């Protein structure tokens, strides 16, 4: 039976010949919409503690974060090789020379085969991209952009600090340099209809993205969005509703795109809503079961013409 979607797990195993896991590190970066350069407070949904594992904290040296992470992932998942994931906040928010020294330090550990760097479209320039291009000649490199939304109205609501044109410019500058281009979006913002969210699949399919993540919106404690939600609750995806949505979304996504994530995980102690009462494995099983039930797969409804407008905008 053919795979129903192109999973990142399978992609890495085929590329490196063994189980490969990301080791998250927090190097104490901030963001321009958090430190006052563009705005303060950061994105309305963001609480860094909700997505970075306990071993990845800026109070620990990089060495401790990497070695602790590799030890944990080796025991838990039998990982043999590792990608150091600079995850927290904006990991290109600094000078290119300083960043390159930090990335190269992470690459010196035995078993580390590459780096993945989470960033924003407005924190990339030619000098930094040239640096990633050099590194990509030596190891695996993924530069992951937080697109979050293709709609300016949503980016404004998020307090993102940039528009969608900024995303398109960053993707155009990144193409053809030998490193992988990653991206993620958030589905379920109150500023978007279901049809608008679904249209994101066709749009991103034309952007030249290699690896892609979809996050369903979570309301997380100690965020501006929590205060908004408690003051004026708005609808969030229910479990069955989201399974239906993400299956249809996958059908419209380019069949060549590698899918790294299909939903959000938030520690229960930080989650306000929605509370599905499901484990990560249970959600994955439900998605795969629904794909099987429908006899469908990633890209079944994809048309290259649908992504042509996005490609022409780059």
**8 Å CB contact between 237 and 216:** yes
Establish if 167 belongs to a structural domain: yes
The set of residues, in sequence order, having a beta carbon less than 8 Å from that of 32 and lying 6+ positions away, is 38, 39, 90, 93, 120, 122, 123, 161
**Domain CATH number, residue 239:** 3.80.30.30
Burial letters 113-131, b for 16+ CB under 10 A, else e: bbbbbbbbbbbbeeebbeb
Within a domain: 242: yes
The full 3-state SS of 14-53, as one line of letters, equals HHHCCCEEEEEECCCCCCCCCECCCCECCCCCCCHHHCCC
Whether 2 is in a domain gets the answer no
Does residue 3 lie within any of the structural domains?
Answer: no
Please give the tally of structural domains in the chain: 1
pLDDT tens per residue across all 314 residues of the chain: 458 999 999 999 999 999 999 999 999 999 999 988 988 889 999 987 666 666 656 678 999 999 999 999 999 999 999 999 999 999 999 999 999 999 999 999 999 999 999 999 999 999 999 999 999 999 999 999 999 999 999 999 999 999 999 999 999 999 999 999 999 999 999 999 999 999 999 999 999 999 999 999 999 999 999 999 999 999 999 999 999 999 999 999 999 999 999 999 999 999 999 999 999 999 999 999 999 999 999 999 998 877 666 666 67
Question: Is there a domain that residue 143 lies in?
Answer: yes
**In a domain? residue 122:** yes
Q: Considering the domain boundaries, does residue 262 fall inside one?
A: yes
The residue range of the domain holding 202 is: 8-313
Q: Please, which contacts does 232-241 make with residues 24 or more away whose CB atoms are closer than 8 Å? A: 234/190, 235/190, 236/188, 236/273, 236/274, 237/187, 237/188, 237/274, 238/274, 238/276, 239/274, 239/276, 239/278, 239/283, 239/286
- The answer as to whether 1 is a domain residue is no
């Amino acid at each position: 039976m053919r795979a129903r979607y192109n999973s990142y797990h399978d992609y890495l195993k085929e590329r490196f010949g063994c189980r490969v896991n990301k080791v998250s590190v927090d190097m104490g970066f901030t963001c321009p919409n958090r430190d006052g350069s563009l705005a303060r407070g950061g994105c309305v949904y963001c609480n860094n503690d909700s997505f970075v594992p306990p071993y990845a904290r800026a109070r620990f040296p990089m060495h401790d974060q990497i070695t602790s992470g590799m030890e944990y992932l080796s025991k838990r998942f039998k990982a043999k090789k590792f990608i150091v994931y600079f995850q927290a906040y904006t990991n290109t928010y600094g000078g290119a020379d300083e960043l390159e020294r930090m990335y190269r330090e992470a690459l010196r550990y035995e078993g580390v085969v590459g780096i993945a760097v989470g960033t924003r479209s407005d924190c990339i320039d030619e000098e930094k991209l040239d640096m990633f291009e050099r590194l990509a000649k030596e190891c695996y490199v993924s530069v992951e952009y937080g697109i979050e939304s293709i709609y300016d109205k949503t980016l404004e609501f998020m307090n993102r600090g940039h528009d969608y044109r900024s995303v398109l410019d960053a993707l155009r500058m990144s193409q053809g340099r030998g490193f992988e281009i990653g991206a993620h979006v958030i589905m379920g913002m109150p500023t978007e209809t279901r049809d608008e969210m679904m249209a994101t699949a066709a749009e991103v399919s034309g952007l030249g993205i290699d690896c892609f993540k979809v996050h369903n919106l979570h309301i997380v404690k100690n965020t501006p969005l929590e205060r908004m939600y408690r003051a004026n609750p708005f609808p969030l995806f229910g479990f069955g509703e989201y399974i239906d949505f993400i299956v249809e979304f996958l059908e419209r996504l380019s069949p060549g795109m590698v899918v790294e994530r299909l939903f959000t995980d938030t520690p229960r102690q930080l989650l306000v809503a929605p509370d599905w009462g499901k484990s990560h494995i249970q959600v994955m099983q439900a998605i795969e079961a629904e794909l099987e039930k429908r006899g469908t797969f990633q890209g079944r409804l994809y048309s290259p013409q649908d992504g042509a407008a996005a490609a022409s905008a780059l």
